């Protein structure tokens, strides 16, 4: 079975939830017998000569590095490129690229769309962009042969708004890590094991890092705060966030992967996710896989995980976040056992579930 993948910036080790999702999923589908071709966006690829990753064929094509045009232009070019490859399945990720699902259908391609969440709720988008994203959600939901959703929250949205009741619920996953035994990287940041809080993600408004820094600044503690990540596109918000972080002695690691990220997670005391918007946050699942205590905003995708009320705070409420941080730091939990929560977020199972969706399309299963 030949599969073309579109809607991700690329793999491997590129910042983003969709990117992590694709990096974990598609090598597993290769091992299950699929021939996978993943179309990347050239501006994000450090080495354009690398054409393969763990059996996945990589095709690097043009994309303007401008947030308002990047996804739509790359998707248009990617669909034309996919038609040349002539796959059995074209798998498009996210609702922005889904705007061009009708084009793919006109070209005769069989389509799976994965809806990673209502991106029009992100604060970074203006009115026109929000409209286009809503249209992408509508067109992808209406015209795709199969729609995969990564959470019950998204499944309910598509049922209520578009009456599509045959969506396939397939969660994001997490790989259980080998914890780091080294501390060289954290020492280079003047950090000590179990003496710092981490937050991970892009420097965009909906991640809520400004709330976290403002709450942290009110604490009387020697526990440090570390932000892992950066902006894909430098904005006034990202510049101001970095300034706010520096003024409050918050440590910024930039975008890190591999052994450095492993160290940061392994030796952290607490993981905090102050997001206003998420699909099913892989960063949170990763933190739980490292047995970290967590504190997350009470948005529906986070509440769906049912982590216990002590692990939630009211989104956007800096005072409530400060009080919850104080409690967590005064009552630290080391090596928290999240195994019962993580059983269903297994990438091997997710790959098998995705392959079943592909096979349903090829068998001609009707909606």
Identify whether residues 319 and 201 lie together within a single domain.
Answer: yes
pLDDT at position 196 is 98
Mean pLDDT of 215-234: 94
User: What digits encode the pLDDT tens for the residues 59-115?
Assistant: 999 999 887 789 899 999 999 999 999 999 999 999 999 999 999 999 999 999 999
Global pTM value: 0.84
Q: What is the pLDDT of residues 4-17, one digit of tens each?
A: 999 999 999 898 88
In a domain, residue 147? The reply is: yes
Residues 237 and 135 in one domain: no
203 within a domain of the structure (yes/no) = yes
Domains in the chain, number: 2
And the tokens for 116?
């990673």
Report how far residue 66's alpha carbon sits from residue 164's, in angstroms, rounded to the nearest whole number.
33
Average pLDDT value for the chain: 94
Give yes or no: residues 6 and 143 share one domain: yes
| Between 65 and 356, residue with greater pLDDT | 356
Domain identity same for 247 and 289: yes
90 lies in some domain: yes
Q: What is the model's pLDDT at position 366?
A: 60
- What pLDDT, in 10s, does the model give residues 314-336? 999 999 999 999 999 999 999 99
What b/e sequence results for 39-66 when a residue is b if at least 16 CB atoms lie within 10 Å of its CB, and e otherwise? Answer: bbbebbbeeeeeeebeebbbbbeebeee
- Clarify whether residues 78 and 43 are in a common domain: yes
Exposed/middle/buried for residue 114 (C-beta within 10 Å: 0-12, 13-18, 19+): buried
Q: Is residue 127 over pLDDT 90? A: no
Q: Which domain holds residue 306?
A: 184-342
DSSP letter at 190 equals T
| Residues 131 and 101 reside in one and the same domain | yes
Residue with tokens 């909606």: 367
Residues 355 and 321 reside in one and the same domain: no
pLDDT at 281: 87
CA 167 to chain centre: 20
């Amino acid at each position: 079975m030949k599969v073309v993948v579109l809607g991700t910036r690329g793999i491997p080790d590129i910042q983003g939830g969709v990117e992590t999702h694709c990096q974990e999923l598609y090598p597993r589908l290769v091992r299950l017998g699929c021939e996978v071709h993943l179309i990347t966006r050239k501006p994000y690829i450090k080495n354009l000569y690398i054409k393969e990753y763990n059996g996945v064929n990589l095709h690097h094509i043009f994309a303007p590095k401008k947030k308002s045009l990047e996804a739509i232009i790359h998707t248009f070019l990617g669909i034309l490129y996919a038609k040349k490859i002539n796959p059995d399945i074209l798998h498009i990720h996210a609702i922005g690229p889904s705007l061009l699902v009708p084009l793919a259908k006109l070209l005769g391609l069989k389509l799976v769309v994965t809806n990673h969440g209502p991106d029009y709720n992100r604060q970074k988008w203006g009115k026109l962009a929000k409209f286009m994203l809503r249209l992408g959600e509508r067109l992808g939901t209406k015209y795709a042969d199969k729609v995969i959703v990564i959470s019950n929250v998204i499944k309910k949205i598509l049922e209520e708004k578009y009456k599509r009741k045959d969506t396939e619920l397939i969660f994001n996953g997490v790989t259980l890590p080998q914890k780091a035994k080294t501390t060289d990287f954290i020492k280079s940041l003047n950090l000590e094991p179990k003496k710092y809080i981490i937050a991970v993600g892009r420097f965009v408004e909906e991640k809520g890092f400004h709330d976290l820094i403002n709450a942290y600044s009110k604490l009387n503690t020697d526990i440090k705060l570390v932000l892992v990540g950066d902006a894909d596109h430098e904005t006034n918000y990202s510049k101001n966030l970095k300034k706010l972080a520096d003024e409050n002695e918050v440590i910024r690691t930039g975008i890190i992967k591999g052994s450095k990220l492993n160290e940061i997670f392994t030796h952290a005391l607490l993981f905090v996710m102050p997001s206003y918007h998420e699909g099913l946050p892989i960063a949170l699942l990763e933190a739980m896989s490292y047995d970290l205590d967590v504190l997350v905003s009470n948005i529906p995708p986070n509440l769906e995980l049912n982590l216990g009320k002590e692990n939630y705070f009211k989104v956007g409420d800096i005072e409530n976040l400060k009080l919850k941080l104080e409690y967590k730091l005064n009552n630290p939990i080391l090596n928290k056992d999240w195994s019962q929560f993580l059983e269903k977020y297994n990438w091997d199972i997710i790959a098998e579930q995705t392959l079943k969706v592909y096979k349903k399309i090829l068998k001609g299963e009707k909606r």
